[in-house]
Amino acid sequence: MGYASFRRHSSWYERVWFSGLFQLVVGGFIVVLIPAWWEWGVLGIRWPRFTEAQLNTLAVTFISFAIAFVATRRIQRYPGAQTLGYLLTLPVLIWASGLLVLSFSREDYSWPVLFSSLVLNIGWIISSFYGKQKLRSPTFALVPFGRAKVLLKQVNVRVKALQKPSLEGQRVDAVVADFRADNMPAEWERFLARCTLDRVPVYHYKQLVETLSGRVQIDHLSENEFGALLPSAAYECVKRLMDITLVVISAPLWLPVMLITGVLIKLESSGPMFFVQERVGQGNRPFNVYQLRSMCKDSEKNGAQFAAANDMRITRVGKVIRKTRIDEIPQFINVLKGDMSLIGPRPEQRVFVEQFEEEIPFYAYRHVVKPGITGWAQVVHGYAADADDTRVKIEHDFYYIKHFSLWLDILIIFKTIRTMLTGFGAR
């Protein structure tokens, strides 16, 4: 359930504006046809006898716009994705990919039309983004029983607590309630039934909390059916192919960085270039993870422990490579071996896994997918320093498994780049 799905009871204007078909048609006309008409003119296009360059250009601009349109709408469903920087990066990358395809295939095309289409697509996204900002935020009517009251503390959503079982003509986008509240009177339950009959969406409060926070709560098995948390087997296969392709293609970039950093590590302190440690992977199976050494030699001679802020074991080079995540480059080798994926929950040491399994319900379920070099919990929450922090990160991991998809992976990639530039969550 995405954030946009809460707009069902908006005004006629909003329903039309937010219609995917409407935006696709109008946006396609502006982004694809106007640049072609401006460059070639009405007489320059002789239907149905297009030139090869015109056909190639129209095909690439339309496909690029359609992909960018679908991708931006899908990505905006996730928490933290309503950022203009992420949305503008997508069309640039997609248009650049289309241009590379045309260039490598040596096909004729019109550069002015391609560039104009990209500029208009960026303008279209900006206008849509700020247009949505000006329209009203979704409003929720809250049934004040059980744990649903936690939504009153949310600052990024408009919630109105109902005083009696009636909307009284209020304009709301949905009604939210705790379906498991023991103290909910029968008249309020009948009110929820009437809302459903009147086509007013009714949601369990955890659905809204999940949408706003990017976390799936794991207190009780019955509250999150494991069947709903199973990742897509088809996407697992596609993701494996993408992992291998991306690691192999990018090898000329990451291999030199890894080797140069390794030399700096050796020059600063004694010890090996790599740090090898056993971690727990998919299916609870152990594997050796590779990292560039960021701590002094024998840093864990007294046993496994979390890295603390300003940890004295971290070297000067280590501080830099941990902040920029360069220390994790050797894990591309783990990806090629099939131990890890580029994106997924971070693998933990066995001693911590056994500890968390005792303290955190259903902790082991995070091992249903391959661990990753980066992941949803890393880019949203940052570093976990104790069991409480780990509980929150596990809820983010469960959200990732539940929403396991290409679109969420793309958002994680964008957030990872931001993390590398800002050092968010590093220790």
Average pLDDT per block of 10 residues along the chain, 427 residues long: 46 51 81 86 58 87 89 82 77 89 86 91 83 67 87 77 84 85 89 86 84 74 56 90 95 93 86 89 93 73 52 77 87 95 92 84 84 90 68 86 90 85 59
pLDDT at 289: 94
Identify any residues that bridge with 278 across adjacent strands, giving them in sequence order: 288
pLDDT at 108: 87
* Domain residue spans of the chain: 3-134, 139-213, 233-296+310-422
0.85 exceeded by pTM = no
Distance, CA of 315 to CA of 35 (rounded, Å): 55
Q: Could you report the per-residue pLDDT of 262-283, keeping only the tens digit for each?
A: 899 888 887 888 889 999 999 9
pLDDT at 195: 87
pLDDT at 298: 58
HEC string of the chain equals: CCHHHHHCCCCHHHHHHCCHHHHHHHHHHHHHHHHHHHHHCCCCCECCECCHHHHHHHHHHHHHHHHHHHHHHHHCCCCCCCCHHHHHHHHHHHHHHHHHHHHHCCCCCCHHHHHHHHHHHHHHHHHHHHHHHHCCCCEEEECCCHHHHHHHHCCCCEEEECCCCCCCCCCCCEEEECCCCCCCCHHHHHHHHHHHHCCCCEEEHHHHHHHHHCCCCCCCHHHCCHHHHCCCHHHHHHHHHHHHHHHHHCHHHHHHHHHHHHHHHHHHCCCCCEEEEEEECHHHCEEEEEEECCECCCCCCCCCCCCCCCCCCECHHHHHHHHHCHHHCCHHHHHHHCCCEEECCCCCCHHHHHHHHHHCCCHHHHHHCCCEEECHHHHHCCCCCCHHHHHHHHHHHHHHHHCCCHHHHHHHHHHHHHHHHHCCCCC
Q: Could you report the per-residue pLDDT of 99-158, keeping only the tens digit for each?
A: 888 888 888 888 888 999 999 999 888 887 776 665 556 788 889 888 888 888 776 678
pLDDT at 339: 95
